[in-house]
Amino acid sequence: MEAGQHREQDPPLPGKPPAGSARTSPGRLADLRLLLLILVLLALCPLLALSLGNAIMERSAAAEAAFQNALSAMRLIAQAPEQASQHAERMLAVLALAPEIRARDTRACDEIFSALLQSNPEFADILAMTPEGLVFSSGSQQAQDIRRLYLPLLVDRNPAAEFGWVGTLDGRSILLFAHPVKDARQGPVALLAVVLDLSAYGRAFEKANLPPGSSLAMAKSDGTLLYHSRATLGWNIGTLAGEQFSLFRDLLTRGEEANATGTGMDGVERLYSVKRLRIGQGVDDLYVRVGIPLRAIYAEVDRRLWRNLLGLGGTGGLVLLLTWLYGNRFILSRVARLMEAAQRIRQGDFTPRSGLAQDKDPFGELAASFDSMAEGLAQREEERLSHMAVLREKDDRIQALFNATTDSVILMNPDGIILA
């Protein structure tokens, strides 16, 4: 065995990393920095979830509030024609007993009807007709213009019976209530009628304080439109068709009041609420439908949501910036010093120290332990180098002995094992 075989492997040269070493400190610091930012983002996730959950609840509450507002608006609008219908029927029953009307006194009837129209502005006209349908008196003083206007309504009707009618006549959407006037022998001598202009009730819609883009429609159960607020914008609306009619029919099957969402004829998605009017027996069903744009319903909620999201985003950005600055100053810079010192020790240089042992925090404690470990490694390295120097001196002496003698020399240990 050669004397050099007693020597231990020399340590790697300082500053030269061993083969297969890990990534350098900058790469690891980038990982730590990313980890800190991810932790901050994870901490913000509950706030984001809370904002979104609150927005969902607010949207649901806004939709419910809009439905209630639509119902209130419909009830307000429906109340006027319903009350007017009841009042008209009672008034006609009283007028039918007046002797001036039984006598078909045109002048006296005109005065009575004119006075009643002034005190009852909800009525468009009060008429008196012969059993054959010829108008002989009109409170609006339009008897000559409408003398034959109402004749189609009397075809196949019993002039001695009360009746009501709703529909479009001469371009006007009206409600008409008729009551017979009978003589002493209960024979029909005249027919009284009260006319209600449905478009007049649409003006109550403007006082309902509903969001912009809301619409009001009055329609019969077959989808015939008698009034639509959008008609004032130049729309030519006669009947509900397609998806609108399907939605309308679906709402009618749900009861006297119902609501659902659908797309209007203008392509705007709305919350629609429908209510059936109570306008007397024998009259075709008449419905009021109010539509409120969904974007108007959710506008305030969405604005609050965006404000919250922007505030959360600004706060998150500020927190991330502070985390970046604080992390670099108080965490990553100290970790970098520890990692740099550890890397140099790993490469065989036991002289570097962290320089953080004086800090009074967990980093200081870690640094003190690290420096103590480095000090111990340095001391062990000195002892190893000293031991290796002694071994080399012994090897040199033995080798000199071998070289100087011509005799056979054997080096054995106490157990008889030949060493050289």
pLDDT tens for 265-275 read: 778 888 888 88
**CB-neighbour burial class of residue 183 (10 A; exposed 0-12, middle 13-18, buried 19+):** exposed
Residue pair 328/315 in contact (Cβ under 8 Å)? The answer is no
Residue pair 208/77 in contact (Cβ under 8 Å)? The answer is yes
For the chain, the helix, strand and coil percentages under 3-state DSSP, each to the nearest 5 = 50, 20, 30
> Distances in Å between the alpha carbon of 362 and those of 328, 355, 366?
17, 14, 6
Mean pLDDT of the chain: 78
How far is Cα 96 from Cα 194, in angstroms, rounded to an integer? 12
Which amino acid is located at 355 in the chain? G
CA 154 to chain centre: 54
For residues 3-28, give the mean pLDDT. Answer: 47
Strand order in the sheet with 135-138: 135-138, 125-129, 188-197, 172-182, 163-169
Cα-based torsion angle of the residue sequence 22, 24, 25, 26 in order, rounded to the nearest 10 degrees: -130
pLDDT at 11 (0 to 100): 47
**Tens digit of each residue's pLDDT (9 = 90 or more) over 249-291:** 888 888 888 888 888 877 888 888 888 888 776 677 888 888 8
The 8-class DSSP code of residue 158 comes to -
List the one residue out of 288, 298, 238, 299 whose CA is nearest residue 265: 238
pLDDT at 214 (0 to 100): 85
Question: Is this prediction's pTM over 0.75?
Answer: no
How far is Cα 48 from Cα 45, in angstroms, rounded to an integer? 5
pLDDT band per the 50, 70, 90 thresholds, residue 7 = very low
CA 153 to chain centre: 51
Q: What is the CA radius of gyration of the chain?
A: 50
Residue predicted with more confidence, 142 or 177: 177
Q: Using DSSP bridges, classify how beta strands 269-276 and 257-263 pair: parallel, antiparallel or unpaired.
A: antiparallel
What are 172's two structure tokens? 């006007």
Alpha helices, DSSP H only, in 253-361?
A: 294-326, 333-346
List residues bridging with 194 in a β-sheet.
126, 177
